[in-house]
Amino acid sequence: MVTDRSRLHIAVQKSGRLFEQSRDLLKGAGLKLQGGKNALTARAENFPLDVMFVRDDDIPTFVADGVCELGICGQNVLEEYALGQAARRVRTVTNLGFGRCTLKIAAPDGVVYKTEMLAGQRIATSYPRLLAHFLAERAIEAEIVPMKGAVELAPRLGIAKFICDLVSTGATLEANGLAAVETVLASEAVLVRTLKPMAPALAERADALLTRIDGVIATQESKYIVLNAPKAALIEIARILPGAEAPTVVPLAGRPGHYAVQAVCQESVFWETLEKLKAAGASAILVMPIEKMML
Ligand code: PRT
Ligand code: ZN
Give tens-digit pLDDT for 203-223.
999 999 999 999 999 888 889
Q: Which ligand sits closest to the CA of 125?
A: 1
Q: How far away, in angstroms, is 55 Cα from ligand 2 center?
A: 6
Residue 295 scores a pLDDT above 80: no
Residue 291 scores a pLDDT above 80: yes
| pTM beyond 0.85, yes or no | yes
Taking CA atoms only, the protein residue closest to ligand 1 atom 33 is 166
Ligand 1: nearest atom to the Cα of 167: 44
Residue 6 scores a pLDDT above 80: yes
Asked if CATH classification 3.40.190.10 holds for the domain at 101-187, the reply, yes or no, is yes
DSSP state string for 9-77: EEEEESSSTTHHHHHHHHHHTT--B-S-TT-SEEEBSSSSEEEEEE-GGGHHHHHHTTSSSEEEEEHHH
Phi, psi angles (nearest 5°) of residue 127: -125, 65
Cα–Cα distance, 50 to 147 (Å, whole number): 33
Q: What is the DSSP letter of 33?
A: B
Coil, strand or helix: which one is 276? Answer: helix
Taking CA atoms only, the protein residue closest to ligand 1 atom 13 is 17
Q: Give 55's Cβ-side CA count (13 Å radius).
A: 2
Please compute the mean of the pLDDT values over residues 250-274 and round it to a whole number: 93
pLDDT range class, residue 1, cuts 50, 70, 90: low
Q: How far away, in angstroms, is 114 Cα from ligand 1 center?
A: 27
76, 127 Cβ separation under 8 angstroms: yes
pLDDT at 172: 97
pLDDT at 36: 67
Please compute the mean of the pLDDT values over residues 244-263 and round it to a whole number: 94
As its CATH architecture, domain 223-289 has 2-Layer Sandwich (3.30)
Please compute the mean of the pLDDT values over residues 233-241 and round it to a whole number: 95
pLDDT at 38: 75
pLDDT at 165: 98
229, 258 Cβ separation under 8 angstroms: yes
234, 249 Cβ separation under 8 angstroms: yes
118 lines ligand 1 (CB under 6 A): no
Instruction: Give the Cα-Cα-Cα angle 199, 203, 205 (nearest 5 degrees).
Output: 120
Please compute the mean of the pLDDT values over residues 10-35 and round it to a whole number: 95
Coil, strand or helix: which one is 282? Answer: coil
Spell out the domain ranges in the chain. 8-98+189-219, 101-187, 223-289
Please compute the mean of the pLDDT values over residues 246-252 and round it to a whole number: 94
Residue 2 scores a pLDDT above 70: no
Do 8-98+189-219 and 223-289 have matching folds?
no
pLDDT in tens, 164-192: 999 999 999 999 999 999 999 999 999 99
Cα–Cα distance, 53 to 9 (Å, whole number): 10
Cα–Cα distance, 101 to 183 (Å, whole number): 11
Q: Which ligand sits closest to the CA of 14?
A: 1
Cα–Cα distance, 78 to 52 (Å, whole number): 17
Query: What's the mean per-residue pLDDT of the chain?
Result: 95
Best CATH choice for the domain 8-98+189-219 from the list 3.40.190.10, 3.90.1150.10, 3.40.50.300, 3.40.50.720: 3.40.190.10
Q: How far away, in angstroms, is 31 Cα from ligand 2 center?
A: 25
- The sign of the CA dihedral 186, 189, 190, 195 is positive
Of 14, 22, 56, 187, the residue with max ligand 1 atoms within 8 A of its CB, to mutate for a pocket test, comes to 56
